[in-house]
Structure 1
Amino acid sequence: MANLSIFLDEIQVYVGTYKKYSEGSIFGKWLLLSDYSDFQDFHEAIKELHSDEDDPEYMYQDYEISPLFERMGLISECHISSQIFEVIEAIKSSSYDLEVWEAFTDCFGTYEDVSELEQKIQDSYMGEYGSDEEFAEQLLIETDSIPRNLPSYIYIDWERTARDLMMDYSASNGHYFRCF
């Protein structure tokens, strides 16, 4: 979890303005989101940075951030959502790593409400496995779906079993989720 916190604390955005850009200047500054307590504090820093313009249109020219935030529509060249701080805090306080959040949204898309997204992850996350076959075998063992006294001459084709099981599950980057 330490690496997750470090990554989330290193999220940064390069903020310029469209006016400066159209005049041939890329003046702006990299702003580390962890330096600000909330979106309002972050927005005040941007206003101060570009106080030389009367009504600046901010341009988020570059950002070092997880694709999850783009997928959720929290950041683009012309927009940064006030919800970005809420999502960062939810991930930090969650019992799931950022990779799990990314895998879930890769499988099922995103939700407007971050608490609903977190609840869906909690309800459907099955764990991390090296392959569909490994997942299938572990799931059937944990649910006592394999008789303990299975004769040795009966074998399980894990590839086919996994293929059939995966009709009810989704996976991304080794993370498995129950479909809902």
Structure 2
Amino acid sequence: MTKLLNCLDTICIYVGTYKKYNDGSLFGKWLNLSDYSDYDELLEAMKELQQDETDPEFMFQDYECPSFISSLGLISESYISNDIYDIIDQISDCGYDIKVIESFIDCFGVSDLNEIIDRITECYVGEYSDDETFVQSLLEETGDIPQNIPSYISIDWESTARNVMYNYSTSNNHYFRSF
């Protein structure tokens, strides 16, 4: 699992310019965001790479990043947010794995970064292999299933899970209380 602390290691951008592209050149270079301490240092590297242009209009012809980075609008073909390093730090402080954040966004969409962090903290239940395993664990942990239940009583976990899941959402085996 990739921790958000190392999230910058997974973000790479291919930096070219619109002028070169329009002139038929794909000249550029892959830059890894973790090689730079902040946006200003990244910007200097981009300018140095394209130093043959006086005022380069950067084009990010390709980029690799966790899906939530592009979902938050932090990177696109013509834009990289100057707040990207601060935002990654802020998200990293919440302590959740990248897959948890991506699963949350898949379930509930993206609205506001602070809301995402607050909601994950409030709603995240855990990772389970399937709905039945999740519901059985949930009901046992909350005490809704007595520990001394007779062995001749059989619980239809598929049906129980179907009913309980009305109050939960899941993506990639990560479970969240619906809000």
Structure 2: stretches of 5+ with no match in the other structure: none
Partner of 1:93: 93
> 1:43-84, CA deviations, whole angstroms, 9 ceiling, x for partnerless residues?
222223223223322110111211111111111111111232
Q: How does 1:111-130 map to 2 (within 5 A)?
A: 111-112=111-112, 114-130=113-129
Higher relative contact order (CA 8 A, sep 6+): 2
TM-score by length of 2: 0.90
- Matched to 2:85, the amino acid is F
* 1:59 to 2:70 alignment: no
Separation in structure 1 between the aligned mates of residue 23 and residue 157 of structure 2, nearest angstrom: 62
Q: What amino acid does structure 1 have at the position aligned with 2:44?
A: E
In 2: Cα distance, 1:39 partner to 1:168 partner: 41
In the alignment, the residues of structure 2 paired with residue 83 and residue 108 of structure 1 have an alpha-carbon distance, to the nearest angstrom, of 23
For residue 127 of structure 1, give the secondary structure of its aligned residue in structure 2: strand
- Output the CA distance in 2 between the equivalents of 1:163 and 1:136: 9
Q: Per-residue deviation at 1:6?
A: 4.7
* Aligned-partner Cα distance in 2 for 1:168–1:82: 38
Give 1:92 shift. 3.2
Unaligned ranges ≥5, structure 1: none
Which secondary structure does the structure 1 equivalent of 2:68 belong to? Answer: helix
1:131–1:177: structure 2 CA closer, same or farther, 3 Å change rule? same
* Identity value in percent: 54
Q: 1:72 to 1:58 in 2, by over 3 A?
A: same
Aligned-CA RMSD value: 1.8
Task: Give the structure 1 partner of residue 162 of structure 2.
Answer: 163
Rounded Cα–Cα distance in structure 1 between residues aligned with 2:75 and 2:22: 21
Q: Distance in 2 between matches of 1:116 and 1:40?
A: 27
